[in-house]
Amino acid sequence: MKVKFKALVQFSAIALLAAACSSDPDSAGLEYMPDMYRSPAIEPYVDYGEVRGTIDENKKMEMSARLTPRYTIPYYGTDSETVAMMLPYRRLPGKDFAKSHGLYGAVLSNNADADYEYKLSAMDMNPIKFTSQEQADQVLAAGKALYQANCNHCHGEKGDGQGPMVTAGSFSGAANLKGLTIAEGQMFYSIYYGKGAMGAHASMLNKKEIWTVIHHIRKLQDDTYGKMGADGKFAAAPVAAATPDSIPAKKTK
């Protein structure tokens, strides 16, 4: 009897192992009791309305995928310049931006002057510096690609404000970037939070990408921008510089 029982156990074990195998070389085979070794931890970026083909109609009607906490900083490596560039933006949107640009829930400036922070941004300089002609060409090429994907439809390929959306009559009021003389920090602020009829692009472009686009905008303003001269210096398109008159002296509520 013991021999028969032992043979039965051995046969069952062999059959179980054989059933778990698969002819598919990419298959891990069947899983038995996955809860014993697979973590049941909640995944914050999963839509629990549909998990592995199982649909929960109640959860489909509410947000189950969670955003990261405010001011969370993703890991950007160990390069100090890149990390500094990607830190949370220190300039605040104007107090009316929640109504005009949909920045609901954002921390807004409490200054009576809605453009107070925008004026301060004139002091911010592009942290992406040209170091060689090859590197400058790479930055400008990347900026052009980002511009074509995110800006061209309104501002136009040449930056003249005559993009397809404008010429088709679907949108009006796109800025002529070729004649834009605001400081590059104010360009960043305008792209990040939006300005006039343009909405905020912070959710579409990260800070490094925005600064890269600004390099391309300056190239549109002056074709010599980004070209190294015989003296080893790079030509710069004319932009407004921060002056004592353009920077608010103090913050007032």
List the chain pLDDT tens, one digit each, 253 residues: 556 667 677 777 776 666 666 667 777 666 666 666 666 665 666 677 777 778 888 877 776 666 677 777 788 889 999 999 999 899 999 988 888 887 877 889 999 898 999 999 999 999 999 999 999 999 999 999 999 999 999 999 999 999 999 999 888 888 999 888 899 999 999 999 998 888 899 989 999 999 999 999 999 998 899 998 888 888 665 565 555 455 565 555 5
Is the residue at 69 inside a domain?
no
Is there a single domain that holds both residue 88 and residue 176?
yes
- pLDDT at position 114: 87
Is the residue at 177 inside a domain?
yes
Is there a single domain that holds both residue 96 and residue 14?
no
Domain containing 53 equals 2-60
Number of domains into which the chain is organized? 2
Is there a single domain that holds both residue 204 and residue 101?
yes
- pLDDT at position 244: 44
- Assess contact for 214 and 222: CB atoms under 8 A: no
Q: What is the largest CA-CA distance in the chain?
A: 101
Give the DSSP letter string of 79-102.
Answer: -HHHHHHHSPP-PPPPTTHHHHS-
- pLDDT at position 25: 74
Distance CA 40, CA 66 (A): 17
Note the pTM of the prediction, 2 decimals. Answer: 0.71
With vertex at residue 90, the alpha carbon angle to CA 85 and CA 95, rounded to the nearest 5 degrees, is 145
CA distances from 31 to 25, 38, 52, 62 (A): 16, 10, 15, 32
Q: Left if phi > 0, otherwise alpha if psi is -120 to 50, otherwise beta: which for 228?
A: beta
Is there a single domain that holds both residue 199 and residue 88?
yes
Is the residue at 250 inside a domain?
no
- pLDDT at position 183: 92
- pLDDT at position 126: 94
Helix (H) or strand (E) holding 209: helix 207-221
Is there a single domain that holds both residue 132 and residue 183?
yes
Is there a single domain that holds both residue 56 and residue 99?
no
